[in-house]
């Protein structure tokens, strides 16, 4: 439901894909790309939670911009980490 990745399919499909890239230069990068493409999009659930909370739909472009710009907010690492925690809803409040 929340997956952006490709369906790797059966073990035979995976084996075929890995066999094609294993003999080429850049095999590790190609294998890594296959793994990343098959991974579910972990930000989809967070985006849906934010949309529900603020009652405004967020486009993928807006969401990507928010993720990119969160690290540009300050030169201070503490503020960057705080911003990422807020976006990913990983902060603890006193309430």
User: Has residue 92 been placed in a domain?
Assistant: no
The verdict on 28 and 60 lying in the same domain is no
Q: Indicate whether 50 and 35 sit together in one domain.
A: no
In a domain, 49, yes or no: yes
Q: Does 50 lie in the same domain as 36? A: no
Same-domain status, 13 and 36: yes
pTM, full prediction = 0.50
The pLDDT of residue 45:
81
For residue 24, being part of any structural domain is answered with: yes
* Tens digits of residue pLDDT in 16-59: 777 777 777 887 887 778 777 766 666 778 888 888 888 999 88
Task: Name the band, by pLDDT with cuts 50, 70 and 90, for residue 95.
Answer: low
For 51, the domain range is 43-87
Say whether both 48 and 82 belong to one domain.
yes
Query: Is residue 74 assigned to a domain?
Result: yes
Residue-wise DSSP of 12-71: HHHHHHHHHHHTSTTHHHHHHHHHHHHS--THHHHHHHHHHHHTS---HHHHHHHHHHGG
Q: Are residues 37 and 8 in the same domain?
A: yes
Question: How many independent structural domains does the chain possess?
Answer: 2
Average pLDDT over residues 1-23: 63
């Amino acid at each position: 439901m929340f997956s952006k990745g490709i369906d790797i399919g059966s073990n035979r499909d995976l084996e075929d894909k890995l066999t094609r890239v294993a003999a080429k230069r850049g095999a590790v990068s190609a294998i890594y790309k296959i793994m990343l493409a098959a991974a579910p999009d972990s930000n989809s659930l967070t985006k849906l939670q934010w949309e529900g909370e603020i009652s405004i739909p967020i486009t993928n472009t807006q969401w990507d911009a928010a993720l990119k710009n969160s690290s540009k907010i300050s030169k201070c690492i503490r503020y960057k980490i705080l911003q990422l925690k807020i976006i990913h809803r990983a902060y603890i409040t006193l309430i």
